[in-house]
Amino acid sequence: MGFRDAFNPHAIYIAVFVPAQERETAAEAVYFNQEEERLLKKLWQKAKTSSDPAKVSKEAAELEKIVGKYKISDTDRKALQAWRHSDEF
């Protein structure tokens, strides 16, 4: 950390003249915006993956390779695919 970083006039102004409550509110807003962005990216990837017909059919084929020997019903197979794309575990 150099001299410029240690004596940043903007940081000094914020530390001295902006009330602590406003700094905390701003920090919370930044945190929640970043968290929301992370979750939206995750949701976008999930939607993008599940909407591509080629990926869905490939996923079904791969699933069949794994569970085909167990002779599970189509309902259970669809439930297993839905579970794979959920994040509730």
| pLDDT, tens digit (0-9, with 9 covering 90-100), for 4-14 | 556 777 777 77
pTM: 0.44
The answer to whether the CB of 33 falls within 8 A of the CB of 43 is: no
13 with 40, same domain: the answer is: yes
58 with 81, same domain: the answer is: yes
80 Cβ contact list (under 8 Å, min separation 6): 63, 67, 72
Q: Which domain holds residue 73?
A: 52-89
Number of domains in the chain: 2
* pLDDT value at residue 78: 85
30 with 59, same domain: the answer is: no
25 with 66, same domain: the answer is: no
39 with 71, same domain: the answer is: no
42 with 71, same domain: the answer is: no
39 with 56, same domain: the answer is: no
Give the whole-angstrom CA distance, residue 63 versus residue 75.
14
